[in-house]
Amino acid sequence: MTYSIVIPAYNEGERLAPTLEKVLAYVSHQGWDAEVIVVNDGSRDNTADIVREFAAKHSLLRLVENPGNRGKGYAVRNGMLNARGEIIVFSDADLSSPIEEMPKLLESVAAGADIAIGSRWLRSELQIHRQSLHRQLFGRVFNGLNRIILGLRFKDTQCGFKAFTRRAAQTILPLQRIERWGFDPEILFLARKFGFRVDEVAVRWGHVGGTRINPLMDGARMFQEMVRIRWNDLTGKYNNGSAVAMQPAKSLAKPLPEQPAPRA
């Protein structure tokens, strides 16, 4: 199988059906050898039922259940480690970055990247609907701390739209220890530690309401998690991936057909 698309979901009953319709229709239109995985993170609504209804009609869709509500980072890891594809993409359930942007990530992997990360700020003019000013400020502060504490020089670590080669995912994800919102810097820190090439890719993006993040409380938790990542590294908790990372990579990506230019 060539591609896996992983969608973490927690209480997404209101918007999951339209998301699945768009994703499944797009994959079908592209003619990809692909699967779509929805990871139910202990939802208390009808999220799992919606996935089962769609899966009954679409064989490429399957449901993965977390053992209760463990957090987005756990859900992404669980889905990616259950994926069968040679290239594994995870996307937020709100499709804040449209699924039609996925070829941009795939093209980056085809050009040699081990990981391609969608970026809202590489070309900010591509933002369809921006966040509020206080959330933008929170993001800039968080990005600055990532640079200082973890040495991550990306303009945007938090965009929920990333693609991994299978080898990169299977090296990094088993070592991931952050299970909630702060997992993105950890996986990018590990990618740099093990010498994987990470390309930042400008994508269209639009803020969607209903995001369950509190800038003050979650910001403090994310800061603690940055320090924890540094501590984990200093104490050798990430060293088990070195042998896998040093193995030679095989060619995973096939050249993509030319895609029509996205509408502005």
Q: Which two tokens stand for residue 16?
A: 């999951």
Quick check: 217 pLDDT over 90?
no
pLDDT digit string, tens, across residues 26-51: 999 999 999 999 999 999 999 999 99
Query: Are the C-beta atoms of 8 and 16 separated by less than 8 Å?
Result: no
Q: Which two tokens stand for residue 165?
A: 């080669």
pLDDT digit string, tens, across residues 176-209: 999 987 899 999 999 999 999 999 999 998 766 6
* CATH number of the domain located at residue range(s) 3-245 in this protein: 3.90.550.10
State the pTM of this model: 0.85
Query: Are the C-beta atoms of 171 and 245 separated by less than 8 Å?
Result: yes
Q: Which two tokens stand for residue 234?
A: 């200093």
Residue type, 194: F
Domain boundaries, the chain: 3-245
